[in-house]
Amino acid sequence: MLADKRILLIIGGGIAAYKCLDLIRRLRERGASVRVVMTPAAKEFVTPLSVGALSENPVHIDLFDLTQENEIGHIRLSREADLLVVAPATADLLAKMANGLCNDLATNVLLATDKPVLAAPAMNPRMWGHPATRRNVAQLSRDGVRFVGPNSGAMAERGEIGAGRMAEPMEILAAIEAHFEAVGEGRPLAGRRIVVTAGPTHEPIDPVRYIANRSSGKQGYALARAFAEAGATVTLVSGPVGLPDPEGVKVVRVETAREMLAAVEGALPADAAVMAAAVADWRVASEAAEKIKKGAGGAPHLDFVENPDILATVGRHPTLRPRLVVGFAAETENLLTNARAKLEKKGADLIVANDVSPETGIMGGDRNTVRIVETAGVTDWPDLPKDEVAERLAALIAERLG
């Protein structure tokens, strides 16, 4: 699939640069041609000699290298590729990309290109979590830059743990292949990143008891599958359900609403968020450390506190709000009024509203009758299998993302 594909690899100055040698080798093995631009700082981590030998092409570093400019100028370099891959995408490189700065060959090429860009961030977890980096990543994501990783785990700095490790060469390779696969097939969500929530949450009362609801997760899983089939990179954040992982989807399993929120935030930035989970509105204020015993005191008294609203948090996120935020409204009365109110209250672009009165059999069933509620108006869809609702929603999201 990568045969004859032209990859322009931009190596940033980070310790993870050594992984690029393996990436180049694997790309070459698969028949891709690889041209490499290194930032001046990248030379401190890997030598142009080894990069050149593995890529079988001259390495480009200096913006003012006249010999190289004569052979291939930086503008041509940026255009004569099918995909630009930035790895490691350091905090500095991301900041420059987000703001259009260009003071070396790598950043000039990135500003001049008209080709898709895939970035593999790598930095210290605090730098990755810093509001400035969050803003830059959100901006780049809006500009159409795709991301692979970073992963969580031990860092080069001893004792530091958290998100910031560059994705492994095989993961970057998989993201590159997924990109070409999706583009090649012209799938409507090719290259999009979508976060989906599904299923119920379980809110513990004590070590053996919890509060839950009847959500089966079927609609959310069908959505994740449909988005992946339409070419998107999908993260499915799932509460406890008895469903197998959909193929080609990254699944993060959680129990509580708070865990679900953390997992969703960890999966951002994304082009769209589709929140289909039936999140428990409340949790018990303090989970008992031991199993609550039947006793002379009679039935226990439970105090509740409100759970975070994941949809509203994402819909009103100051820096990482996806371009399209979709919520669900499962109601047993006043369907439209409630759905419209949710659109406003939660900062969503679109609400999929459905009547879940027990007689409809929707909750836990295989079919769904939904109304699509947007500010511009309401569209009624017929009674459909949940898979088909998912396919239609995938098409609608592709249309709205443009």
Q: Which residues belong to the active site?
A: 213
Query: Secondary structure of the chain in the HEC alphabet?
Result: CCCCCEEEEEECCCHHHHHHHHHHHHHHHCCCEEEEEECHHHHHCCCHHHHHHHHCCCEECCCCCHHHHHHCCHHHHHHCCCEEEEEEECHHHHHHHHHCCCCCHHHHHHHHCCCCEEEEECCCHHHHHCHHHHHHHHHHHHCCCEECCCEEEECCCCCCEEEEECCCHHHHHHHHHHHHHHHHHCCCCCCCEEEEEECECCEEEECCEEECCCCCCHHHHHHHHHHHHCCCEEEEEECCCCCCCCCCCEEEECCCHHHHHHHHHHHCCCCEEEECCECCCEEECCCCCCCCCCCCCCCCCCCEEECCCHHHHHHCCCCCCCCEEEEEEEECCCHHHHHHHHHHHCCCCEEEEEECCHHHCCCCCCEECEEEEECCEEEECCCEEHHHHHHHHHHHHHHHHC
Joined tokens for residue 180: 């070409």
Q: Which is nearer to ligand C5P, 21 or 279 (CB)?
A: 279
- According to the binding rule CB under 6 A, does residue 327 interact with ligand C5P? yes
Q: Which stretch binds ligand C5P (CB under 6 A): 111-119, 183-191, 297-305, 306-314?
A: 306-314
- According to the binding rule CB under 6 A, does residue 391 interact with ligand C5P? no
Q: Which is nearer to ligand C5P, 265 or 287 (CB)?
A: 265
- According to the binding rule CB under 6 A, does residue 235 interact with ligand C5P? no
Minimum distance from residue 313 beta carbon to ligand C5P (Å):
8
Q: Which of residues 270-289 bind ligand C5P (CB under 6 A)?
A: 275-277, 279, 281
- According to the binding rule CB under 6 A, does residue 175 interact with ligand C5P? no
Joined tokens for residue 291: 């199993």
Minimum distance from residue 210 beta carbon to ligand C5P (Å):
16
Pick one of 138, 196, 311, 373: the residue that binds ligand C5P (CB under 6 A).
Answer: 311
Pick one of 328, 350, 362, 398: the residue that binds ligand C5P (CB under 6 A).
Answer: 328
Minimum distance from residue 197 beta carbon to ligand C5P (Å):
6
Minimum distance from residue 395 beta carbon to ligand C5P (Å):
20
Find, among 273, 378, 260, the residue nearest to 321 by Cα.
273
Minimum distance from residue 9 beta carbon to ligand C5P (Å):
39
- According to the binding rule CB under 6 A, does residue 256 interact with ligand C5P? no
Minimum distance from residue 277 beta carbon to ligand C5P (Å):
5
Q: Which is nearer to ligand C5P, 75 or 251 (CB)?
A: 251
- According to the binding rule CB under 6 A, does residue 307 interact with ligand C5P? yes
- According to the binding rule CB under 6 A, does residue 329 interact with ligand C5P? yes
Let me know: does 255 contact 287? Beta carbons within 8 Å: no
Find, among 184, 277, 191, the residue nearest to 227 by Cα.
191
Q: Which is nearer to ligand C5P, 105 or 279 (CB)?
A: 279
Let me know: does 283 contact 211? Beta carbons within 8 Å: yes
Q: Which stretch binds ligand C5P (CB under 6 A): 7-15, 35-43, 238-246, 323-331?
A: 323-331
Q: Which is nearer to ligand C5P, 141 or 307 (CB)?
A: 307
- According to the binding rule CB under 6 A, does residue 197 interact with ligand C5P? yes
- According to the binding rule CB under 6 A, does residue 342 interact with ligand C5P? yes
- According to the binding rule CB under 6 A, does residue 322 interact with ligand C5P? no
Minimum distance from residue 140 beta carbon to ligand C5P (Å):
26
Q: Which is nearer to ligand C5P, 176 or 261 (CB)?
A: 261
Judged by the rule CB under 6 A, the positions of this chain that interact with ligand C5P are: 197, 257, 275-277, 279, 281, 307, 309-311, 327-329, 342
